[in-house]
Amino acid sequence: MTLAVYPGSFDPIHRGHIDVAERAARIFDQLVVAVYATPQKNLLFGVHERAEMARHALAHLDNVRVAHYEGMTVDFLRAQEAQVIVRGLRMAYDFDLEYQMALTNCAFAPELETVCLFTKLEYSYLSSSQVKAIALAGGDVSEMVPSHVLSALDHKLARS
């Protein structure tokens, strides 16, 4: 059985992430979408909110579960007894970062493989930071995120 982990900040999860998770779930026996608690980023949502939104967005996938973690991604994979790290690739810009990360993870855990899935063209411009920036400016992000994420964004931004 191949267990893969799809790690990320997911702040918040959007349609590009969902597409990668759906495709990875078809390739691997089990997929854990792993929400990284403390990335070096300006977060809008807490880790439990991000995990809950991801859980709701991926509830239609039987072989996918959502977890959250702190510390090294490779340590999380070892604890889960997973073999594969899944990442999504958008533009060439992502490649350099993902390559660097894959090499770093390989240095710490050579037994793990990183598998990158290319984004679909329609999601190639999508990022969580863009979703947040557009929502903050009052723009319409309903095509970019599921409806429960849209409500969470409305709620969060109305309060901040």
**Residues involved in catalysis:** 17, 41, 90, 128
- The residue among 8 and 146 lying less far from ligand ADP, judged by its C-beta, is 8
Minimum separation from the CB atom of position 39 to ligand ADP (A): 5
Site for ligand ADP (CB under 6 A): which residue of 119, 131, 146, 150? Answer: 119
Span of 57-65, 70-78, 103-111, 124-132 interacting with ligand ADP by CB under 6 A: 124-132
Distance CA 152, CA 149 (A): 5
Site for ligand ADP (CB under 6 A): which residue of 63, 80, 83, 127? Answer: 127
Torsion of CA 96, 100, 102, 107, to 10 degrees: 160
DSSP 48-94: HHHHHHHHHHTTT-TTEEEEEE-S-HHHHHHHHT--EEEEEE-SHHH
Give the position of tokens 């702040």.
11
Site for ligand ADP (CB under 6 A): which residue of 4, 5, 12, 17? Answer: 17
CB 113 within 8 A of CB 86: no
Minimum separation from the CB atom of position 13 to ligand ADP (A): 8
User: Which residues, 50 to 79, sit near ligand ADP by CB under 6 A?
Assistant: none
Site for ligand ADP (CB under 6 A): which residue of 94, 114, 156, 157? Answer: 94
Structure tokens at 124: 């190639």
Q: What is the H or E stretch that residue 113 is in?
A: strand 113-118
Task: Catalog residues that contact ligand ADP under the rule CB under 6 A.
Answer: 8-10, 16-17, 20, 39, 87-88, 90, 94, 119, 123, 126-128
